[in-house]
Chains A and B, each alone.
Chain A
Amino acid sequence: QKEVEQNSGPLSVPEGAIASLNCTYSDRGSQSFFWYRQYSGKSPELIMFIYSNGDKEDGRFTAQLNKASQYVSLLIRDSQPSDSATYLCALGSNDYKLSFGAGTTVTVRA
């Protein structure tokens, strides 16, 4: 599986602030990138995917991809206590396999 590095956590942000999560990868040929949210005791839930350079927005979430610099990030705007979870960055390959980063635990303080 391919190497995926996530910025070490845990990350604590006040309610209403922006949480910024970063992920770097080693394989320049990677084409698909995913962000999963995992609540404690639950399975991962897909929240964002991005295939092209630039920004992709979905509600309060924005994924940013820079293939030249080999990083993908996730911004969570107006953070809510319900956003407290572990966020997993994943890299997809042409054979549909996913390689996951170690995850970043986010805590939103009310």
Chain B
Amino acid sequence: SAVISQKPSRDICQRGTSLTIQCQVDSQVTMMFWYRQQPGQSLTLIATANQGSEATYESGFVIDKFPISRPNLTFSTLTVSNMSPEDSSIYLCSVAGQDMSYEQYFGPGTRLTVT
């Protein structure tokens, strides 16, 4: 499976600010996703990051709050905008397996705390 890295691994931010999270993959992948895992909860899909076009957002998530870029097949960013303490979560990127298989593999995550 692909090797996935995320930056930063963790951050503490003040409310009202924004944070951009980077996801880098060591090989070209078609499907890339962003998830959120709130404290003590399971994973919720935020959006599918589409290369060369706008991201596709799930119900409850909007582009103004979570803008996503996907400039090429190995890189994506997720920005958490105008943060509030409710945004304190782990943010994870994932990629589908090789040859468009349905399995997904996750990056190490970014632990965000908003004060």
Contact = CB atoms under 8 A, between A and B. Distances in A.
Given A32-B102, A34-B103, A88 B42 contact: yes
B96 interface: yes
A1 B96 contact: no
Interface in B1-52: 1, 31, 33, 41-45, 48
B66 to A, nearest CB: 16
B43 A44 contact: yes
Nearest to B94: A98
Contact of A46 (B31, B45, B105): B105
Given A43-B108, A43-B109, A100 B102 contact: no
Interface string A27-48: 0000010100000001111100
Contacts of B98: none
- How many A residues are at the interface, by size bracket? 20 to 34
Contacts of A103: 42
Given A96-B31, A101-B42, A49 B106 contact: no
Contacts of A101: 42
- How many B residues are at the interface, by size bracket? 20 to 34
A102 B42 contact: yes
A92 B94 CA distance: 14
Interface string A84-103: 00001000100111111111
Contacts of B94: 98
Interface string B62-82: 000000000000000000000
Contact of B102 (A42, A43, A96, A99): A96
Nearest to A86: B42
Contacts of A44: 43, 92, 106
A43 B42 contact: no
Given A96-B104, A100-B42, A102-B42, 6 more contacts: A1-B59, A42-B109, A43-B107, A49-B103, A51-B102, A99-B45
